[in-house]
């Protein structure tokens, strides 16, 4: 027979543990609350719980334990829902809604990580392509902004099907896109860039019975250990505008000859 003193002592300890579980839950220490819950739950199977007096005294503590457990489960569910909301918001913040490509912010974050890996010798560098549509304003002015959006989506889908899983394609804004050929041999990446330029300049947007040609200029800038995001972007941007100027001059000369 267990003595009254022992029963009261065990019951007081059980009550104290139940209160402690609730306090841990309220304080946000879910790991310790979980551990204490498991220990308290195990007490129900002990031999001394057969004592009627201890059962009566322990009933309140066990009820409190169940309430604490339910509250703990609710807290876990709320945390999971909160993590989901945060992930959704982060995705929205770094994704271009029209094309579903990463936006400028998403690309800068990805490129910054890639440059860090390159600087630490984990990758060998690669090539950044800056892409700008030559006739985007003309498409908008002639066929409307919906057609312009269609051209942007067409270009985005072309980039998605061109790059490797390890590469990154993004829309920086307007009709400006960028591709990061990461951890790539520069000469091989240049060949891929030239093939992409040919593919982009052969695109045709089918719009309300019309066949609208899509044309693009591409600039390139290799990157290596020690480079910065701004320097590489500026170099690719300058290269792209030089290509665009040459294409415009060639088109003008051809028009004069015609």
State the pLDDT at residue 207: 94
State the pLDDT at residue 48: 47
State the pLDDT at residue 12: 47
**Tokens 């719009």 belong to residue:** 207
State the pLDDT at residue 223: 96
* C-alpha–C-alpha distance, residues 33 and 26, integer Å: 9
175 catalytic residue (yes or no):
yes
CATH architecture type of domain 104-257 = 2-Layer Sandwich (3.30)
* C-alpha–C-alpha distance, residues 235 and 212, integer Å: 31
The answer to pTM > 0.85 is: no
| 53: Cβ contacts below 8 Å, ≥ 6 apart | 4, 7
State the pLDDT at residue 104: 95
CATH 3.30.70.270 domain residues, the chain = 104-257
Write out residues in the chain with pLDDT < 70, as ranges.
Answer: 1-58, 60-65, 68-69, 72, 81-92, 258
Q: Which of 17, 132, 175, 237 is catalytic?
A: 175
State the pLDDT at residue 20: 57
52 phi/psi in degrees, rounded to 5: -55, -40
């Amino acid at each position: 027979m267990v003595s009254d003193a022992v029963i009261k002592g065990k019951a007081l300890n059980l009550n104290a543990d139940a209160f402690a579980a609730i306090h841990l839950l309220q304080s946000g220490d879910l790991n310790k609350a979980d551990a204490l819950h498991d220990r308290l739950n195990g007490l129900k199977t002990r031999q001394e719980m057969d004592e009627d007096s201890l059962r009566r005294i322990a009933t309140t503590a066990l009820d409190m334990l169940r309430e604490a457990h339910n509250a703990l489960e609710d807290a876990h569910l709320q945390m999971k829902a909160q993590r989901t909301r945060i992930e959704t918001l982060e995705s929205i913040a770094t994704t271009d809604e029209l094309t579903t490509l990463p936006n400028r912010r998403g690309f800068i974050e990805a490129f910054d990580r890639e440059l860090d890996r390159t600087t630490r010798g984990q990758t060998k560098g690669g090539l950044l392509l800056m892409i700008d549509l030559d006739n985007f304003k003309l498409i908008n002015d002639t066929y409307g902004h919906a057609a312009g959006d269609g051209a942007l989506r067409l270009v985005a889908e072309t980039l998605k099907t061109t790059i490797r899983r390890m590469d990154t394609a993004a829309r920086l804004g307007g009709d400006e896109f960028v591709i990061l050929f990461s951890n790539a041999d520069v000469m091989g990446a240049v060949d891929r860039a030239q093939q992409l330029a040919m593919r982009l300049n052969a695109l045709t947007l089918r719009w309300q019975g019309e066949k609208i040609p899509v044309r693009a200029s591409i600039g390139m800038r290799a990157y290596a250990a020690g480079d910065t995001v701004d320097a590489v972007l500026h170099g690719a941007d300058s290269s792209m505008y030089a290509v665009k100027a040459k294409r415009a001059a060639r088109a003008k000369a051809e028009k004069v000859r015609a």
